[in-house]
Amino acid sequence: MLDMEQKLKIFKALSNETRFLIFKNVFTGGYTCSLDKKQPGVEVNPIATCVSTIAEHFNFSLPTISAHIKELKEAKIITVEKKGNKVYIEPNIETIREMAGCFQTLVSNFDENRELFFGDTLTVQ
């Protein structure tokens, strides 16, 4: 379970547009790209493989992008693995799964309380 400090880090990490976009790329287009060291023959999406590849998609300097990636790593949203002189970035799905669970629990408890108080179930329109 994520403690509050960890949640705050995650929210902070995702509150910046550049970091949010990196996150999005790594988890969607970027996903397949973590394969390229496991299945070298497979043609993969080049987005988000390593720091400089990610940086190409932004009009910010490499050190700036590097710092953003560090913050995403410290929030455990991504994992980084050094291979040679490159750093490979991968999504950390477990953290996102936890976040999905936290929000879902809040919603479920809320709906359950509503049912207990009002005796109805919510129909989302």
Partner DNA sequence: ATTCTATTTAGCTAATTTGCTAATTTCATC
Partner DNA sequence: GATGAAATTAGCAAATTAGCTAAATAGAAT
Query: Residues near 23 by Cβ (< 8 Å), separated by ≥ 6?
Result: 13, 14, 72, 77, 78
58 in contact with its own copies (CB under 8 A): no
Please tell me the distance from the alpha carbon of residue 96 to that of residue 16, in angstroms, as a whole number. Answer: 17
36 in contact with DNA (CB under 7 A): no
Q: Which of these ranges, 52-60, 65-73, 80-88, 101-109, lies near its own copies under the rule CB under 8 A? A: 101-109
DSSP secondary-structure letter at 50? B
By the 8 A CB rule, do 14 and 77 touch? yes
Q: Which two tokens mark 9?
A: 């880090």
20 binds, among its own copies, DNA, none (CB under 5 to 8 A by kind): its own copies
12 in contact with DNA (CB under 7 A): yes
Residues lying near its own copies in the complex (CB under 8 A) are found at: 4, 7-8, 11-12, 14-17, 20, 27-28, 31-32, 35, 91, 93, 96-97, 99-100, 103-104, 106-107, 109-111, 113, 117, 124
